[in-house]
Amino acid sequence: MNIFEALFLGILQGITEFLPISSSGHLVIGESLLGLEVESLKSFDVVVHLGTFAAIIIYFWKDVVGLFKGLFSYIGLMKKSSSNKEYQSLIAYIIIGTLPAIIIGLSMGDAIDFVFRNTFYVGLWMIIVGEVFLLSEWALKKFKNEEGLNWKKALFIGMAQAVALIPGVSRSGSTIAAGLFQGITREKAARFSFLLALPAILGAGLLTGIKEVKSGEFNVEFAPLIVGFVSAAVAGFASVYFLMKFLKNHSLNVFAYYLFAMGAVSVIISLL
């Protein structure tokens, strides 16, 4: 992998990680189009995912600080306040929402990646997710409410995040759509989706990285890794900023139509 390929894939990861169009799916397609060996690039995928992790930290810095304050308040290292209680509840919801991905990831993660990490299945799942987006927008109009999160909704969103272990299924898209199905507004669903991504991205990245190091397959040169990390972080921040603004007045439908088109392209590529 050269610098330009690392830059392209880093930007691709940063944009697609947070836009609801599947970063894993686009990386598989991008690596395939560049003629790169997909299986040998898992170490690079780890680094660009950590770049997008940094993007969330930067954009949601106030919320991240609030989460730490809520934790410190809970264990008695800070005085309790109403805002701390709010973040304590959010911590609980993030933990609940993370559990399904941990359970399925540890028990079935490698098998899921082995079976579905190819352009045909990526395209198929993109089309399926596009259909889910259209249904979730219909559900939001039908059941919209301002009640916010509870543990049942957090668990349902967490189950959607676990499904996103399949390449081609957007993590942000599946979790936002899960929120819409329960009547949560797009902005609130997106905020929780991104905060829920913190342990998911970090945990998955570290776990895969440890496996790569132990197996001796962490074989990407240092310079492409740095370029991939920085480009993914910058592009990731830009895509989070754009999506949070976009969802104030727009639906997921445009992303559904994009996934239909990209999914069809991916299936065609697999047949060539």
pLDDT value of residue 207: 72
Burial of residue 265, with CB atoms counted within 10 A of its CB: 0-12 exposed, 13-18 middle, 19 or more buried = middle
Overall average pLDDT of the 150-154 stretch? 93
What is the percent of the chain where pLDDT is above 70? 88
Q: Is the pLDDT at 192 greater than 60, yes or no? A: yes
Overall average pLDDT of the 156-175 stretch? 92
pLDDT value of residue 36: 66
Q: Is the pLDDT at 271 greater than 60, yes or no? A: yes
193-226 in b/e burial notation, b at 16+ Cβ within 10 A? Answer: bbbbbbbbbebbbeebbeebeeeeebebeeebbe
Average pLDDT, the chain: 85
Angle at which helix 61-74 crosses helix 186-215, to 10 degrees, equals 80
Q: Where are the alpha helices (DSSP H) in the chain?
A: 3-18, 23-33, 42-59, 61-74, 82-116, 119-143, 151-163, 171-181, 186-215, 222-246, 253-271
Burial of residue 145, with CB atoms counted within 10 A of its CB: 0-12 exposed, 13-18 middle, 19 or more buried = exposed
Q: Is the pLDDT at 8 greater than 90, yes or no? A: no
Overall average pLDDT of the 173-181 stretch? 95
Q: Is the pLDDT at 168 greater than 70, yes or no? A: yes
Rounded to whole angstroms, the Cα distance separating 90 from 79 reads: 18
- How does residue 38 score in pLDDT terms, banded at 50, 70 and 90? low
pLDDT value of residue 25: 74
pLDDT value of residue 45: 76
- How does residue 231 score in pLDDT terms, banded at 50, 70 and 90? very high
pLDDT digits over 45-102, tens only? 778 888 999 999 999 999 999 998 888 887 776 676 666 788 989 999 999 999 999 8
Overall average pLDDT of the 93-121 stretch? 85
The Cβ-side half-sphere exposure at 104, using a 13 Å CA radius, reads: 17
- How does residue 236 score in pLDDT terms, banded at 50, 70 and 90? very high
Rounded to whole angstroms, the Cα distance separating 67 from 87 reads: 5
Rounded to whole angstroms, the Cα distance separating 142 from 46 reads: 39
Overall average pLDDT of the 223-248 stretch? 93
Q: Is the pLDDT at 179 greater than 90, yes or no? A: yes
**pTM as predicted:** 0.86
How far is the first Cα of the chain from the last one, in angstroms, to the nearest whole number? 24
The Cβ-side half-sphere exposure at 108, using a 13 Å CA radius, reads: 12
Overall average pLDDT of the 254-263 stretch? 94
Q: Is the pLDDT at 42 greater than 70, yes or no? A: no
pLDDT value of residue 37: 60
Q: Is the pLDDT at 200 greater than 90, yes or no? A: no
